[in-house]
């Protein structure tokens, strides 16, 4: 692999370290599913434990960097020059149900632009990473988006609506529009991995509303460096961490946008 900035090395190392306890925790899930209490509290503590390890590793190297995390929130708020964006377990429902489709996701921002990122599925042992200007990788192989040109042949992935969504009807109607005009639509339950899968050509496009920035921050640079295109729609300036994402191999981007807006 030819990525060698100090930041990519640091986030990769932190990911590998945190993943060791996360793999152990995942192994416990099966036992907890049959217990009367269920795995809910355990998953919350696995999430917190993972985040704690990541924070320890990253803050040891750069105590002054800003951090946005799912569990803790914002740390060193005034530092927007250097910032880590962390989701300790993306795909929490999958994790809770013993489904190995979840990931640790860490992005690194300089002056509000993502410079590098890592998305690691510790169960499949798939590490997606990228650094601005130096390409995107899955483990040691360079990755690239698909070459699919015709949206009718495209395999698209999406997610949501979440249980509390107030726009479920809108999301379902978008789903129908897209489904009727592409080869097929999947729902895999981890936004970070959904973007990574577009980056390596497994899917041709992805859209999802009502995400948080930490779900997809690392994915942005991985997809761009793999030749894809990503943008956000219907942004709310008062809620900069809330995101509606559209990501694709770039060729089908406008057609996918038209299907969502139909």
Question: Where along the sequence are the contacts to Ca ion (CB under 5 A)?
Answer: 87, 90, 215
Question: Residues touching ligand 2AM: how many (CB under 6 A)?
Answer: 13
Sequence-separated contacts (24+) of 122-125 with Cβ below 8 Å: 122/19, 122/22, 122/23, 122/26, 123/23, 123/26, 124/100
Binding to ligand 2AM (CB under 6 A) within 98-157 occurs at none
Closest separation between CB of residue 33 and ligand 2AM, Å?
17
Strand 184-187, strand 229-232: pairing: unpaired
Using an 8 Å Cβ cutoff, are 227 and 134 in contact? no
Select the residue interacting with ligand 2AM from 20, 24, 142, 162 (CB under 6 A).
Answer: 162
Q: Does 211 engage in binding with ligand 2AM (CB under 6 A)?
A: yes
Closest separation between CB of residue 1 and ligand 2AM, Å?
26
Q: Considering beta carbons, is residue 89 or 182 the nearer one to Ca ion?
A: 89
Distance of CA 70 to the CA centre of its chain: 12
Q: How would you classify residue 78: left for phi > 0, otherwise alpha for psi between -120 and 50, otherwise beta?
A: alpha
Sequence-separated contacts (24+) of 60-69 with Cβ below 8 Å: 61/6, 61/10, 68/213, 68/214, 68/217, 68/241, 69/214
Q: Does 160 engage in binding with ligand 2AM (CB under 6 A)?
A: yes
Query: Which listed range, 22-30, 108-116, 198-206, 210-218, lies at the site for ligand 2AM (CB under 6 A)?
Result: 210-218
Query: Which listed range, 14-22, 37-45, 118-126, 207-215, lies at the site for ligand 2AM (CB under 6 A)?
Result: 207-215
Q: Does 249 engage in binding with ligand 2AM (CB under 6 A)?
A: no
Select the residue interacting with ligand 2AM from 123, 215, 221, 223 (CB under 6 A).
Answer: 215
Q: Considering beta carbons, is residue 114 or 211 the nearer one to ligand 2AM?
A: 211
Q: Which two tokens stand for residue 161?
A: 């609506």
């Amino acid at each position: 692999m030819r990525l060698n900035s100090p930041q990519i090395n640091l986030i990769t190392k932190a990911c590998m370290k945190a993943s060791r306890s996360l793999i152990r925790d995942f192994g416990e899930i099966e036992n907890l599913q049959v217990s009367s209490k269920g795995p809910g509290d355990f998953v919350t503590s696995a999430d917190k434990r993972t985040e704690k390890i990541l924070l320890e590793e990253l803050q040891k190297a750069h105590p002054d960097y800003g951090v946005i995390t799912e569990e803790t929130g914002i740390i060193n708020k005034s530092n927007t020059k250097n910032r880590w964006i962390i989701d300790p377990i993306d795909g929490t429902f999958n994790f809770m149900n013993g489904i190995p489709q979840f990931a640790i996701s860490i992005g690194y921002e300089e002056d509000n632009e993502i410079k590098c990122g890592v998305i690691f599925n510790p169960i499949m042992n798939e590490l997606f990473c990228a650094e601005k200007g130096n390409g995107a990788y899955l483990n040691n192989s360079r990755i690239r988006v698909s070459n699919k040109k015709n949206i009718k042949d495209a395999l698209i992935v999406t997610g949501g609506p979440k249980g509390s969504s107030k726009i479920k009807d809108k999301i379902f109607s978008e789903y129908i529009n897209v489904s009727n005009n592409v080869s097929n639509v999947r729902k895999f339950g981890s936004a970070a991995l959904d973007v990574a899968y577009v980056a390596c050509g497994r899917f041709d496009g992805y859209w999802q509303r009502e995400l948080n920035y930490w779900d997809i921050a690392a994915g942005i640079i991985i997809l761009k460096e793999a030749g894809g295109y990503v943008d956000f729609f219907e942004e709310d300036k008062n809620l900069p961490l809330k995101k509606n994402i559209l990501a694709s191999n770039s060729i089908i981007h406008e057609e996918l946008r038209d299907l969502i807006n139909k």
